[in-house]
Amino acid sequence: MFNWDWQTKEKLVCDVNDWKNRFNFVHEFVPSPDGEKIAAVVEIEDKKVTPCINGKTWDDTFERVCFLRLIPDGSVTCLVLKNYEWTMAKDEVLLDETFDYAWNLQFSKDASCAAFNIKKGDSYGACVNGKVWDNLFFDARDLFISPDAKKTACYVRTKNPQVLDIFSFKEGVWTVAVNGVPWDKNFISVFGLTFSPDGKRIAATVRLSQQEFTVAVDGALWKEIFPNAWEPAFINENDVCVPVKTDKGWTLVLNGKPLWDKYFVQLWNQRVSPDGKRIAAVVATEFGKWTVAVDGVAWTKTFSQAVLPPQFSPDGKKVASVVRENNLWTVAVDGIAWSEGFERVWTPQFSPDGSHIVAKVERDGVFFIVLDGKIGKDVFEMLWEPVFSPDGEKILVRCLKNGKYYRKIFTIGEILR
């Protein structure tokens, strides 16, 4: 982001109207993080498809192209089906290894690790940087990459009982595999897998029986067992918090012990501030009354339809959440909702110093930028999430106007003028 072009005010990158004339079909557009490229899967002929980047197609064609990604180093990646075999392609170069099926292509934050789920024969696992896990399993679901890009993990099924063998399923057939190595214990179900900030530890919520839940950290179970629990979260390199159900209601516990002294009708989607000192979560204070609680204290304002996961400003002082009331979406910051409502609102972004918040919204089939609750002057036929510059003074806008893809740089004041 620091080496992006923050000086060029406007750049016409590509006329995508031309693509519709050149190709039989154009799939979803995907811009690069820096806005310099736009790509889409296009149908050439005879149902053959290939990626098109800034108007230029790859030389090779495929039966299918999925998970098209433009990563920070400028590379174009995707999963492709060619001659009935799946593999990964990066800038037109295909992996030597092929699979019966491949899905869920993901990258670490710095794009140094590329991983995806795979199926070979009757076995499932993951392929990481072109290398398949040494161990494969009867099933593998979801995929997670550690923050340091050194580990990958997913939920795996290590036993394969007959369909009607309910007793074996009750004993547990699911666990977590890290870099292809499964935990020693199996469970009825496993969910909410998460890595610690340094990537050295991993936690997940596990189900021991019909009404017994706890948390496993690196495969070791907490001693405390609860009637129900949601996904865990690390607050630092070692400590884990998780929403649990008790006789008094839902609350938040830390390493199995009560953290908040408040109880709610429901509590989930907890998020930790960047410094690890504050925790915000979605809560229901009464049936049908949703809001956000910060360190156990709920906002006064509640919403009847939905409250999405909260997020902290970089300095940890503010909390924002996308909320729904009266069939309209908006954003609430520290319990105060924007006065404007919209058909759709995307995840808002705080400026680096936390003084501003910006979001992509949709109303009447067109898109706008909303800055600090005020609608921007420009209307877009397509818009991707705006991005603040490192100094917080400018905003990168990637957009379609009149069938043309633009990369624009606005100052804070220019968004609203």
Instruction: Please report which confidence band the pLDDT of residue 140 belongs to, taking 50, 70 and 90 as the band edges.
Output: very high
Is it the case that residue 1 has pLDDT exceeding 80?
A: no
In the chain, what are the domain boundaries? 1-98, 342-417
Quote the pLDDT of residue 168. 87
Phi, psi of 201 (to 5 degrees): -125, 160
Beta strands in 159-296 (DSSP E): 174-178, 181-182, 189-195, 202-209, 212-217, 220-221, 233-234, 240-246, 249-254, 257-258, 266-272, 279-286, 289-294
Structure tokens at 400: 């379609």
Q: What angle do CA 334, 336, 342 make, to 5 degrees?
A: 120
Q: What single-letter amino acid sits at 331?
A: V
13-37 mean pLDDT: 96
CB 147 within 8 A of CB 109: yes
pLDDT in tens, 174-213: 999 999 999 999 999 999 999 999 999 999 999 999 999 9
pLDDT tens string 363-396: 999 999 999 999 999 999 999 999 999 999 999 9
- Return the closest-CA partner of residue 274 out of 235, 239, 332: 235
**How far is Cα 211 from Cα 209, in angstroms, rounded to an integer?**
5
- pLDDT value of residue 55: 96
Q: How confident is the model at residue 46 (pLDDT cuts 50, 70, 90)?
A: confident
On whether the CB atoms of residues 135 and 178 are closer than 8 A, the answer is no
Supply the pLDDT for residue 261: 95
Q: What is the pLDDT of residues 259-317, one digit of tens each?
A: 999 999 999 999 999 999 999 999 999 999 999 999 999 999 999 999 999 999 999 99
